[in-house]
Amino acid sequence: DAGVIQSPRHEVTEMGQEVTLRCKPISGHNSLFWYRQTMMRGLELLIYFNNNVPIDDSGMPEDRFSAKMPNASFSTLKIQPSEPRDSAVYFCASSLKVGQASSGANVLTFGAGSRLTVL
């Protein structure tokens, strides 16, 4: 398995532009997570899906952010319009067997991240 695949790896855009980040989770994983990494706050959970359904989007900063998961093998995180403070590394992660919380096997597998710079 190629792991969690994210694109683009790097994105530089100007303030006000729309940004779309993409993620392909590991085949067979039924949960998908979008995290954002900043120096000040570390890894923040933005939203997560279970079986393609958004479960908790309380971490989404504001209405400029939206995420979709149209099928089990693809998800997007969109920022419209983008602002300089959105500059960060955005990680997608997937996992299996959500709900069996006592199992140590429920670890997240992360993609390599998408580094976003908004000028």
- Interface residues with another protein (CB under 8 A) are 4, 31, 33, 35, 39-45, 48, 50, 55-56, 91, 93, 95, 98-99, 101-102, 104, 106-113
Closest by CA position to 8, among listed 25, 18, 20? 20
In the numeric block, which tokens belong to residue 33?
């997570």
Residue closer to another protein by CB (options 74, 98) is: 98
Q: How far is the CB of 110 from another protein (least distance, A)?
A: 3
Looking at the DSSP assignment, which residues form a beta bridge with residue 65? 79
Residues 6+ apart with CB under 8 A from 50: 30, 31, 98
Q: Which is nearer to another protein, 16 or 28 (CB)?
A: 28
CB of 4 to another protein, least distance (A): 7
**Shortest Cβ 51–another protein spacing (Å):** 11
CA trace torsion 85, 86, 88, 89 (10° rounding)? 180
